[in-house]
Structure 1
Amino acid sequence: MKRILVTAGFVGILVVGSAVPTAAISDAGSTPLPGTGARVEVSAWQCNAYADKCSFKTSTKTMRGGTRYRVSKISNTATVKANGWQATLALSPSGTPVSENTRQVSWTNKNTWIADVSGIADPGGSLNTSITTCSDGGAFKSGVKAFASACAND
Protein backbone atom coordinates (compact mmCIF):
# COMPACT_ATOMS: atom_id res chain seq x y z
CA MET A 1 0.00 0.00 0.00
CA LYS A 2 1.34 3.44 -0.89
CA ARG A 3 1.37 6.11 1.78
CA ILE A 4 1.96 9.72 0.92
CA LEU A 5 3.00 12.24 3.57
CA VAL A 6 2.17 15.82 2.72
CA THR A 7 3.63 18.50 4.95
CA ALA A 8 3.07 22.23 5.20
CA GLY A 9 5.28 23.85 7.84
CA PHE A 10 4.96 21.75 10.98
CA VAL A 11 1.57 20.26 10.07
CA GLY A 12 1.55 16.75 8.56
CA ILE A 13 -1.29 14.96 6.85
CA LEU A 14 -1.25 11.23 6.22
CA VAL A 15 -3.54 10.14 3.37
CA VAL A 16 -4.61 6.50 3.70
CA GLY A 17 -7.05 4.55 1.52
CA SER A 18 -8.41 7.55 -0.31
CA ALA A 19 -9.61 7.47 -3.93
CA VAL A 20 -10.17 11.22 -3.97
CA PRO A 21 -7.43 12.92 -5.98
CA THR A 22 -5.38 15.79 -4.62
CA ALA A 23 -4.74 16.80 -8.21
CA ALA A 24 -5.38 15.23 -11.58
CA ILE A 25 -3.31 14.05 -14.50
CA SER A 26 -5.07 14.22 -17.84
CA ASP A 27 -4.59 13.90 -21.56
CA ALA A 28 -6.82 14.63 -24.54
CA GLY A 29 -6.93 13.89 -28.25
CA SER A 30 -9.25 14.60 -31.14
CA THR A 31 -9.83 13.86 -34.80
CA PRO A 32 -12.31 15.08 -37.43
CA LEU A 33 -15.46 13.08 -38.18
CA PRO A 34 -15.26 13.21 -42.00
CA GLY A 35 -17.91 15.16 -43.90
CA THR A 36 -19.71 16.44 -40.77
CA GLY A 37 -17.65 19.40 -39.56
CA ALA A 38 -17.59 17.67 -36.16
CA ARG A 39 -14.69 16.34 -34.12
CA VAL A 40 -14.37 13.23 -31.99
CA GLU A 41 -12.77 14.35 -28.70
CA VAL A 42 -11.42 11.92 -26.12
CA SER A 43 -10.00 12.52 -22.69
CA ALA A 44 -8.36 10.44 -19.96
CA TRP A 45 -8.13 11.60 -16.36
CA GLN A 46 -6.76 10.05 -13.17
CA CYS A 47 -5.59 11.14 -9.75
CA ASN A 48 -1.87 11.82 -9.50
CA ALA A 49 -1.35 11.26 -5.79
CA TYR A 50 -3.02 8.44 -3.91
CA ALA A 51 -2.45 6.26 -0.89
CA ASP A 52 -4.26 3.09 -1.87
CA LYS A 53 -6.74 3.58 -4.71
CA CYS A 54 -6.95 6.03 -7.60
CA SER A 55 -10.05 7.33 -9.36
CA PHE A 56 -10.13 7.50 -13.16
CA LYS A 57 -12.45 8.79 -15.87
CA THR A 58 -12.43 8.57 -19.65
CA SER A 59 -14.73 10.24 -22.13
CA THR A 60 -15.58 10.40 -25.83
CA LYS A 61 -17.55 13.37 -27.12
CA THR A 62 -18.56 14.67 -30.54
CA MET A 63 -18.55 18.43 -30.91
CA ARG A 64 -19.15 20.83 -33.82
CA GLY A 65 -18.42 24.51 -33.42
CA GLY A 66 -18.31 24.22 -29.64
CA THR A 67 -21.72 22.54 -29.36
CA ARG A 68 -22.79 18.95 -28.88
CA TYR A 69 -23.09 16.94 -32.09
CA ARG A 70 -25.39 13.91 -32.03
CA VAL A 71 -24.10 10.76 -33.77
CA SER A 72 -25.59 7.34 -34.50
CA LYS A 73 -23.16 5.52 -32.20
CA ILE A 74 -20.41 6.67 -29.85
CA SER A 75 -18.14 4.45 -27.75
CA ASN A 76 -15.44 4.76 -25.15
CA THR A 77 -13.00 2.17 -23.82
CA ALA A 78 -10.98 2.83 -20.68
CA THR A 79 -7.78 0.81 -20.40
CA VAL A 80 -6.19 1.02 -16.94
CA LYS A 81 -2.75 -0.47 -16.33
CA ALA A 82 -0.74 -0.85 -13.12
CA ASN A 83 2.95 -0.17 -13.76
CA GLY A 84 5.75 -1.59 -11.66
CA TRP A 85 7.54 -4.79 -10.80
CA GLN A 86 4.98 -7.61 -10.26
CA ALA A 87 2.18 -5.04 -10.47
CA THR A 88 -1.42 -6.21 -10.21
CA LEU A 89 -4.67 -4.33 -10.69
CA ALA A 90 -8.20 -4.55 -9.35
CA LEU A 91 -10.80 -2.28 -10.89
CA SER A 92 -14.27 -1.11 -10.00
CA PRO A 93 -16.24 -1.66 -12.19
CA SER A 94 -14.34 -4.93 -12.71
CA GLY A 95 -14.03 -4.66 -16.50
CA THR A 96 -12.42 -7.20 -18.78
CA PRO A 97 -9.03 -8.59 -17.73
CA VAL A 98 -6.37 -8.02 -20.40
CA SER A 99 -3.53 -9.24 -18.18
CA GLU A 100 -2.66 -9.45 -14.48
CA ASN A 101 -1.98 -5.70 -14.43
CA THR A 102 -4.41 -4.36 -17.09
CA ARG A 103 -8.21 -4.07 -17.25
CA GLN A 104 -10.61 -2.56 -19.80
CA VAL A 105 -14.11 -1.12 -19.36
CA SER A 106 -16.21 -0.11 -22.39
CA TRP A 107 -19.40 1.87 -22.89
CA THR A 108 -21.41 2.54 -26.06
CA ASN A 109 -24.33 4.93 -26.54
CA LYS A 110 -26.64 5.40 -29.54
CA ASN A 111 -28.17 8.63 -30.88
CA THR A 112 -26.26 10.93 -28.56
CA TRP A 113 -23.00 12.87 -28.35
CA ILE A 114 -21.14 11.37 -25.36
CA ALA A 115 -19.89 8.10 -23.83
CA ASP A 116 -18.11 8.13 -20.45
CA VAL A 117 -16.44 5.50 -18.25
CA SER A 118 -15.30 6.10 -14.68
CA GLY A 119 -14.24 4.06 -11.68
CA ILE A 120 -11.63 3.26 -9.06
CA ALA A 121 -8.29 1.54 -9.73
CA ASP A 122 -6.61 -0.43 -6.95
CA PRO A 123 -3.00 -1.18 -7.99
CA GLY A 124 -0.94 -3.69 -6.04
CA GLY A 125 2.45 -5.35 -6.20
CA SER A 126 5.62 -3.37 -5.67
CA LEU A 127 5.83 -0.25 -3.53
CA ASN A 128 6.57 1.82 -6.62
CA THR A 129 3.38 0.94 -8.50
CA SER A 130 1.75 3.64 -10.60
CA ILE A 131 -1.13 3.56 -13.06
CA THR A 132 -1.76 4.61 -16.64
CA THR A 133 -5.28 5.38 -17.87
CA CYS A 134 -5.99 5.39 -21.61
CA SER A 135 -9.15 6.42 -23.42
CA ASP A 136 -10.00 5.06 -26.87
CA GLY A 137 -13.13 6.46 -28.47
CA GLY A 138 -15.01 6.25 -31.70
CA ALA A 139 -18.04 7.84 -33.32
CA PHE A 140 -20.20 6.75 -36.27
CA LYS A 141 -22.68 8.75 -38.34
CA SER A 142 -24.06 8.41 -41.89
CA GLY A 143 -21.51 5.81 -42.95
CA VAL A 144 -18.44 7.64 -41.63
CA LYS A 145 -16.43 6.87 -38.53
CA ALA A 146 -13.48 8.30 -36.63
CA PHE A 147 -11.38 7.22 -33.67
CA ALA A 148 -9.12 9.07 -31.22
CA SER A 149 -6.99 8.16 -28.18
CA ALA A 150 -5.46 9.76 -25.10
CA CYS A 151 -3.37 8.42 -22.18
CA ALA A 152 -2.72 9.88 -18.71
CA ASN A 153 0.32 8.61 -16.73
CA ASP A 154 1.36 9.30 -13.15
Structure 2
Amino acid sequence: MTLVCAAPTSAVSDNATAKLPGTRAVVTANAWHCNVYADKCSFKTSTKVRKGKNPFKASKVSNVATVKANGWQATLSLAPSGTRVSENTRSISWTNTNTWISDISGVADPGGSINTSITTCSDGGAFKSGTKVFASACANG
Protein backbone atom coordinates (compact mmCIF):
# COMPACT_ATOMS: atom_id res chain seq x y z
CA MET A 1 0.00 0.00 0.00
CA THR A 2 1.39 3.40 -0.96
CA LEU A 3 0.26 6.47 0.89
CA VAL A 4 1.05 9.67 -0.99
CA CYS A 5 0.64 13.07 0.62
CA ALA A 6 -1.88 15.29 -1.12
CA ALA A 7 -1.44 18.54 0.77
CA PRO A 8 1.48 20.39 2.34
CA THR A 9 -0.15 20.01 5.78
CA SER A 10 0.55 16.27 5.60
CA ALA A 11 4.19 16.68 4.56
CA VAL A 12 7.51 17.19 6.28
CA SER A 13 9.58 19.87 4.57
CA ASP A 14 12.55 22.20 4.88
CA ASN A 15 14.19 24.87 2.75
CA ALA A 16 17.34 26.98 2.80
CA THR A 17 18.51 29.95 0.75
CA ALA A 18 21.77 31.51 -0.34
CA LYS A 19 22.53 34.59 -2.46
CA LEU A 20 24.23 34.09 -5.83
CA PRO A 21 27.03 36.71 -5.71
CA GLY A 22 26.90 39.56 -8.21
CA THR A 23 23.39 38.73 -9.47
CA ARG A 24 20.92 39.72 -6.71
CA ALA A 25 19.43 36.25 -7.29
CA VAL A 26 18.64 33.78 -4.50
CA VAL A 27 19.09 30.02 -4.67
CA THR A 28 16.60 27.95 -2.66
CA ALA A 29 17.04 24.27 -1.80
CA ASN A 30 13.78 22.48 -0.92
CA ALA A 31 13.27 19.02 0.62
CA TRP A 32 9.88 17.35 1.12
CA HIS A 33 8.49 13.91 1.95
CA CYS A 34 5.20 12.52 3.18
CA ASN A 35 4.53 12.68 6.89
CA VAL A 36 2.35 9.58 7.28
CA TYR A 37 2.83 6.35 5.37
CA ALA A 38 2.05 2.66 5.76
CA ASP A 39 4.61 1.21 3.36
CA LYS A 40 6.19 3.71 0.95
CA CYS A 41 6.70 7.45 1.04
CA SER A 42 6.87 10.05 -1.74
CA PHE A 43 9.77 12.51 -1.69
CA LYS A 44 10.77 15.57 -3.70
CA THR A 45 13.75 17.91 -3.72
CA SER A 46 14.44 20.98 -5.80
CA THR A 47 16.84 23.82 -6.38
CA LYS A 48 15.32 27.06 -7.65
CA VAL A 49 16.98 30.33 -8.63
CA ARG A 50 14.90 33.51 -8.44
CA LYS A 51 15.48 37.22 -8.67
CA GLY A 52 12.66 38.68 -6.64
CA LYS A 53 9.58 36.63 -7.55
CA ASN A 54 10.82 35.88 -11.08
CA PRO A 55 12.81 32.85 -12.27
CA PHE A 56 16.49 33.68 -12.89
CA LYS A 57 18.33 31.71 -15.57
CA ALA A 58 21.67 30.34 -14.35
CA SER A 59 24.36 28.60 -16.39
CA LYS A 60 23.98 25.47 -14.24
CA VAL A 61 21.51 24.50 -11.54
CA SER A 62 22.17 21.25 -9.65
CA ASN A 63 20.26 19.25 -7.10
CA VAL A 64 21.33 16.24 -5.05
CA ALA A 65 18.60 14.35 -3.21
CA THR A 66 19.74 12.17 -0.31
CA VAL A 67 17.11 9.97 1.32
CA LYS A 68 17.83 8.03 4.51
CA ALA A 69 15.75 5.50 6.45
CA ASN A 70 16.24 6.00 10.19
CA GLY A 71 15.82 3.20 12.70
CA TRP A 72 17.50 0.10 14.03
CA GLN A 73 18.67 -2.08 11.10
CA ALA A 74 16.78 0.20 8.68
CA THR A 75 17.08 -0.44 4.96
CA LEU A 76 15.99 1.67 2.00
CA SER A 77 15.17 1.29 -1.66
CA LEU A 78 14.19 4.13 -3.98
CA ALA A 79 12.40 4.57 -7.26
CA PRO A 80 14.30 5.85 -9.21
CA SER A 81 17.07 3.73 -7.67
CA GLY A 82 19.83 6.33 -7.22
CA THR A 83 23.32 5.64 -5.92
CA ARG A 84 23.73 3.45 -2.85
CA VAL A 85 25.51 5.39 -0.12
CA SER A 86 24.86 2.75 2.57
CA GLU A 87 22.27 0.11 3.43
CA ASN A 88 19.84 2.80 4.58
CA THR A 89 20.82 5.79 2.37
CA ARG A 90 20.45 6.54 -1.34
CA SER A 91 21.45 9.59 -3.37
CA ILE A 92 20.24 10.94 -6.73
CA SER A 93 21.66 13.95 -8.57
CA TRP A 94 20.48 16.08 -11.47
CA THR A 95 21.97 19.14 -13.19
CA ASN A 96 20.22 21.41 -15.68
CA THR A 97 21.88 24.06 -17.84
CA ASN A 98 20.60 27.49 -18.87
CA THR A 99 17.54 27.35 -16.66
CA TRP A 100 16.33 28.29 -13.18
CA ILE A 101 15.33 24.93 -11.66
CA SER A 102 16.53 21.39 -11.02
CA ASP A 103 14.22 18.95 -9.26
CA ILE A 104 14.04 15.28 -8.32
CA SER A 105 11.10 13.21 -7.11
CA GLY A 106 10.41 9.59 -6.35
CA VAL A 107 9.22 7.03 -3.84
CA ALA A 108 11.16 5.77 -0.83
CA ASP A 109 10.55 2.26 0.49
CA PRO A 110 12.03 1.92 4.01
CA GLY A 111 12.24 -1.44 5.73
CA GLY A 112 14.04 -3.48 8.37
CA SER A 113 12.78 -1.68 11.44
CA ILE A 114 9.47 -1.21 13.18
CA ASN A 115 10.18 2.42 14.08
CA THR A 116 11.51 3.68 10.75
CA SER A 117 11.36 7.32 9.80
CA ILE A 118 12.75 9.10 6.75
CA THR A 119 15.12 12.02 6.29
CA THR A 120 15.18 13.76 2.90
CA CYS A 121 17.95 16.25 2.13
CA SER A 122 18.38 18.59 -0.81
CA ASP A 123 21.80 19.98 -1.69
CA GLY A 124 21.38 22.63 -4.36
CA GLY A 125 23.83 24.72 -6.28
CA ALA A 126 23.88 27.34 -9.01
CA PHE A 127 26.59 28.76 -11.27
CA LYS A 128 26.42 32.00 -13.24
CA SER A 129 29.14 34.25 -14.70
CA GLY A 130 31.99 32.67 -12.75
CA THR A 131 30.23 32.68 -9.38
CA LYS A 132 28.61 29.78 -7.57
CA VAL A 133 26.61 29.18 -4.42
CA PHE A 134 25.22 26.19 -2.51
CA ALA A 135 22.25 25.72 -0.17
CA SER A 136 21.21 22.64 1.83
CA ALA A 137 17.91 21.66 3.41
CA CYS A 138 16.87 18.52 5.32
CA ALA A 139 13.34 17.35 6.19
CA ASN A 140 13.35 15.00 9.18
CA GLY A 141 10.46 12.88 10.34
- Normalising by the smaller structure, the TM-score range is over 0.9
Aligned to 1:20: 4
**Structure 1 residue 31 corresponds to structure 2 residue 18:** yes
Match runs of 1:2-151 below 5 Å: 17-21=1-5, 23-151=10-138
Cα RMSD after superposing both structures: 0.7
Larger radius of gyration: 1
The answer to whether the 8 Å contact 2:29/2:46 transfers is yes
**Structure 1 residue 152 corresponds to structure 2 residue 139:** yes
Report the number of matched residues: 138
Gaps of 5+ in 1: 1-16
Gaps of 5+ in 2: none
Give the TM-score normalised by the residue count of structure 2.
0.96
Q: Structure 2: how far apart are the matches of 1:46 and 1:19?
A: 11
Q: Structure 1: how far apart are the matches of 2:98 and 2:5?
A: 33
Percent of aligned positions with the same letter in both sequences? 69
Q: Structure 1: how far apart are the matches of 2:28 and 2:3?
A: 26
Letter in 2 for 1:72: S
How far does residue 65 in structure 1 lie from its aligned partner after superposition?
Answer: 1.1
Larger mean Cα displacement after TM superposition, 37-46 or 22-31: 22-31
Secondary structure of the residue aligned to 1:29 is strand
**4+ residue runs over 6 A deviation:** none
Give the TM-score normalised by the residue count of structure 1.
0.88
How far does residue 19 in structure 1 lie from its aligned partner after superposition?
Answer: 3.4
